[in-house]
Structure 1
Amino acid sequence: MSHWSRVEVEAIVTTYFDMLAQELRGEPVNKKETNRQLIRLLSGRTLSSVEFKHANISAVLLELGYPYVDGYKPRSNYQELLREVVESRLSANKGLQVTVKNIVEQSVMVAIAPLDFDQAFVPAPARKPGVAPSSRSSVSHQQPRLGVNYLEREANNASLGKAGEQFVLEVEHARLWKAGYRRLAERIEHVSQTQGDGLGYDVLSFEETGQERPIEVKTTRFGAMTPFFASRNEVKVSGVLDNYQLYRVFGFGKAPKVFVLSGVLENSCTLEPIQYRASVG
């Protein structure tokens, strides 16, 4: 099938942005009906090709520092025209910018009650075939060119981060308590609060054997594929401490879930350097 024309790209981006706005407002999104109507406007495009294009738009949005529509797992290798149209729409859509800004900066006033811990944990997203871990990956991601990375801004939301840590504390307590290891459950420590945030992890929990389980917590209100930001120290500590775990909490504020990345972050993530330390003199 030929590359999508500008008319087709404009149409699907419009549809995607409508779904994104609905989702950000907390409204239900009927993807099936939306796609059915969209296909009527396109010439010979199949449902699978439309959904693949939606996934491409998700990838562009993440690279530009915006959330994506839940359920459209980001897929790269998109045509440059698609990125051009998405960037143009984002620049012009002040309402969407304000909505996302308000969401990522919103303070978390009430802690989220955890699910049963068996329901809270889900498998980590599978790495794409052929994509190497760490910064040695051959995949090149362009950095946001629109001035604000809202995903990074959310990562700096201290109240969200603390609420996510509290959620993990409660989930870990429930895990050990239910397994009958109540003394271990009572020893769990919120070390980022009791010892400071320089340890490279936030929670000290335990395995059922009594082995320590140091946990770094990263929280987002958005989907599981939303990138997170790790400090140099966190990356270093992941390669030094035994049994290091990173708990990625996602969907916070709705029905939060957790997936776990164990051990050295360079082995489980594609790490991209995004900051430099600059000295004068």
Structure 2
Amino acid sequence: MGHRRAVGDSAINGKTWNEAEQDLVVGDYLVMLDKAMTGRAYDPANHQRALRFVTNRSGGAITFLQGEISAVLTLVGLPTLKDHPPRWDFGDGLVEAVDRCLSARPGVLKDLAQPPVLLGRAAAPVLAEGAPSRAPHAPASPRAERLVAKFDPAVRDQEARMLARIGVAAALVHEQRRLEDRGRADLAVQVRLAQPPADEGCDLVSFSRTGAPRRIVVKTTTGGPATPFRLAPAEEALRAAQPEAFVVHRLYDVAREARVFRVRGARDEAVSA
């Protein structure tokens, strides 16, 4: 994944976005995103009016830049504003601005990756069927690659133990319901947590509708479907030993829509290096 030409670094009239202006728009975007993730009301029109006043830019130019911010945040596995779909023609100047803003706001970064509203829920989220991202992205620039390495989403999500526990609990219920919906209540009651996961190499022990064994690894993120994940050594060993039974349940956007797609055998292109 990556970007093409730095179109978003210039407004329609050719006026270049400077560092201070980009920092203002990125900072405002993160304020709105934090409110969206915590269920607090905000008025996007008011935010845009303020940005138009302080930057002397058109609403279209600001909206364009906000879409590019969504793309950069997608690269680092963070949620984005739903009304600003990613635009992949961002430039390195915007990458620098996102780096500065996230580095200056470690609390915001943590809350976006592990939203307090999610951690405070009494029950695990109910999962809906989703799909992997199919968006075509141009190769990343070296600067964008350094940003991804700095805020490595695969490592961040792997180390988020509470997020992982929420994901496993949600996947367990989802598997039980899947089998019940297919008329296999007898198998649904046998779905269990692996004991312990480090030994069995998976998080859940389940079955296909025909009764074939499934060894499920659950990978959870608050980011989108394109967020990379990483297999632990025990999971890699299980994948090699039982490829026909090995399945990854990729849970994404778990703080909002809570969706899941499956990767059978965990094909290499779905897993980060």
Normalised-by-shorter TM-score class: 0.7 to 0.9
Amino acid corresponding to residue 93 of structure 2 in structure 1 = L
Tell me, yes or no, if the aligned pair for 1:205 and 1:214 is still in contact at 8 Å.
yes
In the TM superposition, what whole-angstrom CA distance separates every residue of 1:119-147 from its partner, at most 9, and x where no partner exists? x112222152677xxxxxx8765234997
Which amino acid in 2 is paired with 1:214? R
CA displacement at 1:17 relative to structure 2: 2.2
Given the two structures, how large is their TM-score scaled by the length of structure 2? Answer: 0.72
Match of 2:6 in 1: none
Tell me if the contact between 2:193 and 2:204 (Cα under 8 Å) persists in the aligned partners.
yes
Paired with 1:30 and 1:82, the residues of 2 have a C-alpha distance of 24
Match of 2:38 in 1: 25
Q: Is the 8 A contact 1:235 1:265 kept in 2?
A: no
> 2:187 aligns to what?
184
User: How has the CA–CA distance of structure 1 residues 23 and 182 changed in structure 2, closer, same or farther, with 3 Å as cutoff?
Assistant: same
Residues 17-39 of structure 1 deviation map (CA, whole Å, 9 limit, x = unaligned): 22123224332455466457656
Structure ranking higher on relative contact order (CA contacts 8 Å, 6+ apart): 2
Task: Look up the match of 1:80.
Answer: 92
Structure 1 residue 125 corresponds to structure 2 residue 133: yes
| Residue-pair matches, total | 255
Aligned pair in 2 of structure 1 residues 113, 18: CA closer, same or farther (>3 Å)?
closer
Give CA deviations for 1:236-256 in whole Å, capped at 9, x if unaligned: 544551153211223335442
Change (3 A) 1:39 1:218: same
- Are residues 96 and 177 of structure 1, via their aligned partners in 2, closer, same or farther at CA, if it must alter by over 3 Å? closer
Query: 1:160-192 deviations in whole A, cap 9, x for unaligned?
Result: 21221121111111111122111111221211x
**Relative to structure 2, which stretch is displaced further, 203-212 or 53-62?**
53-62
Contact 1:216 1:246 in 2 (8 A): yes
Contact 1:112–1:253, Cα closer than 8 Å, also in 2:
no
Q: Distance in 1 between matches of 2:15 and 2:249?
A: 39
Out of 89, 92, 96, the residue aligned to residue 101 of structure 2 is: 89
Tell whether the 8 Å contact from 2:34 to 2:112 is kept in structure 1 after alignment: no
CA positional deviation for 1:157? 2.5
Aligned residue among 119, 122, 128 for 1:110: 122
What residue number does 1:172 align with? 175
More displaced 10-residue stretch of structure 1: 93-102 or 170-179: 93-102
Structure 2 residue aligned with 1:135: none
The one-letter amino acid paired with 1:213 is R
SS of alignment partner, residue 214 of structure 1: strand
Contact 1:177–1:185, Cα closer than 8 Å, also in 2: yes
Matched residues in 2 for 1:35 and 1:179: separation? 49
How far apart, CA to CA, are the structure 2 residues paired with 1:183 and 1:38? Answer: 58
Structure 1 residue ranges without an equivalent (≥5): 132-137, 273-281
What does residue 247 of structure 1 align with? 249
Report runs of 4+ in structure 1 exceeding 6 Å deviation: 145-148
Quote the offset at 1:93 in angstroms: 3.7
* Closer/same/farther in 2, CA of residues 229 and 70 from structure 1, 3 Å limit: farther
Instruction: Tell me, in whole angstroms, the C-alpha distance in 1 between the residues paired with 2:38 and 2:171.
Output: 26
1:55-111: per-residue Cα shift (whole Å, max 9, x none)? 322343455x5733242454544211112222223333466357558748x966733
- Between stretches 219-228 and 12-21, larger displacement belongs to 219-228
Q: Is the 8 A contact 1:19 1:69 kept in 2?
A: no
From the superposition, tell whether residues 211 and 66 of structure 1 become closer, same or farther in structure 2 (CA, over 3 Å).
closer
Where 1:213 maps in the other structure, the secondary structure is strand
CA contact (8 A) 2:249 2:260 kept: yes
C-alpha contact (below 8 Å) 1:108/1:160 kept by paired residues: no
SS at match of 1:128: coil
Residue 5 of structure 2 corresponds to: none
Question: Among the aligned pairs, what percent are the same residue?
Answer: 22
Partner residue, 1:268: 270
TM-score calculated relative to the size of structure 1: 0.70
Q: Does residue 143 in structure 1 map to residue 153 in structure 2?
A: no
Q: Look up the match of 1:16.
A: 29
* The one of 53, 58, 68 aligned to 1:56: 68
Look up the equivalent residue of 1:247 and give its one-letter code. H
> Match for residue 207 of structure 2?
206
Q: Superposition RMSD on alpha carbons, in Å?
A: 3.7
- Distance in 2 (alpha carbons) for counterparts of 1:19 and 1:188: 40
Question: Taking structure 1 as reference, are residues 198 and 143 closer, same or farther at Cα in structure 2, changes over 3 Å only?
Answer: farther
